[in-house]
Amino acid sequence: MPRHSPYRLERDTQLNFVVTTLRTVPTPSSNPDRLGFWHHRSLRRRRLGRLFGQPVTEIEILDDQSGTTRRTRARLQLADGQELAVFVKRPSRSLVARAFVAVPRLSRAEVGFYAELRERLPVATPRCHGARHSPWSFIVVLEDLADSGATLRSSTDTLSADEAASLLASLADMHRQWWGRTESHPWLARNPRRELFLGALLSPSLCRIGFWRVGSAVPETLHQSIARYARNRRAAQEAMSAGPTTLIHNDCHPGNQFVTADGRPGLVDWQLCRAGPWARDVAYLLATSLDPETRRAAEKDLLAGYLRQLGSIAPDFDSAWLAYRRNVVYAVEAMLVTAGVGVMMPKSTSLVLVSRAATAAADLDSYGAL
């Protein structure tokens, strides 16, 4: 643990339980597990057949990885002769990751997104062949973007200012479309309430573990600010969430981004989507996707461009700048929690993203803005 860590691994029953549990969890695997995939009941041909409305006669596994969820690329042959390249999401091999997804009902959000919202969005997203959800299990079958000619980003990629502006324009279109209109889908509002409760319960402990693992990536000037935030999280969350709500992706780091074959920016992994503040997406995107030099030089112009695309409903620049600064704090917390859980991404990736987000928070005095 860093010498001046704001989190101390004291005798905390909740924290000790989390630490003990996480130490037993295997790290994410990238090795195909053909037998396990074939025999896992969520991918039996009969269940896939129900999603497609016809029997699946053959399955060829191309890749199988497990992190926050289990993600499998496969080729399917249907009874009518169609051959499809698909990307299948289902519960992780890790029990901790399964609980992390199931308890806040993240899979319900992703299934709801593809079933109810996806066709109406101006943001590029994968085509969904079928999705189902139950309290402790789910399956989402999407087109395989790699097979469609799309370019998939990795979590440690960086965007140019022009690439960030293009994705921000798509987000502005989506935010404008749903500005103050999320009540039509009540589950979008339930997610933030559930997150506030679970965040207060688990986030401080997971952030301690995350800081223990990757705290070297956090500027020392932030250590005390992060500790104060942990003690006053509810009030800080209220400050970050002030203002109108809209549909937000809530997790638009580089690893959840892609570019279509015709050059349009897109987003995957909608399991954290919810009703929330527009600044959450903007701050999360810029804090995690740009290298510090690019962000410092371009962030005000990028924010101004986003506000122009948002149109008549946009707040004034000074108010927007304050909201942007505040919401960078969420990006820092999210990356520390991810590092704390441990099975969601490799430590080397967490170090990069924590460093980017924490550097942005230090540059912008984000904790001081709360």
pLDDT digits (tens, 9 = 90+) for 322-334: 999 999 999 999 9
Q: What pLDDT does residue 341 have?
A: 78
157: nearest Cα among 261, 46, 258 = 258
Q: What pLDDT does residue 196 have?
A: 64
What are the residue ranges in the chain where pLDDT is below 70?
1-46, 99-100, 102-104, 190-201
Q: What pLDDT does residue 102 have?
A: 66
Q: Do 178 and 123 form a contact (C-beta atoms < 8 A)?
A: no
> At residue 313, what is the residue type?
I
Tokens 């399955």: give the residue.
Answer: 59
Q: What pLDDT does residue 279 have?
A: 98
Between CA 365 and CA 38 the distance in angstroms is 50
Based on its alpha-carbon atoms, the radius of gyration of the chain, rounded to whole angstroms, reads: 20
Between CA 55 and CA 66 the distance in angstroms is 26
124: nearest Cα among 173, 158, 74, 165 = 173
The three-state DSSP-derived secondary structure of 44-107 is CHHHHHHHHCCCEEEEEEEEEEECCEEEEEEEEEECCCCEEEEEEEEECCCHHHHHHHHCCCHH
Distance of CA 291 to the CA centre of its chain: 19
pTM for the full predicted model: 0.84
Q: What pLDDT does residue 186 have?
A: 84
Q: What pLDDT does residue 171 have?
A: 98
Indicate the DSSP class of residue 254: G
Distance of CA 367 to the CA centre of its chain: 22
pLDDT digits (tens, 9 = 90+) for 194-205: 666 666 667 777
Between CA 327 and CA 176 the distance in angstroms is 19
Distance of CA 211 to the CA centre of its chain: 19
Q: What pLDDT does residue 28 have?
A: 42
Between CA 149 and CA 289 the distance in angstroms is 22
Indicate the DSSP class of residue 114: I
Between CA 164 and CA 257 the distance in angstroms is 11
In the chain, the domains with their CATH numbers are 13-24+150-364 (3.90.1200.10), 34-148 (3.30.200)
Q: What pLDDT does residue 27 have?
A: 41
SS3 194: helix
153: nearest Cα among 56, 82, 242, 257 = 257
In this structure, the dihedral spanned by the alpha carbons of residues 139, 64, 153 and 337, taken in order and rounded to 10 degrees, is: 70
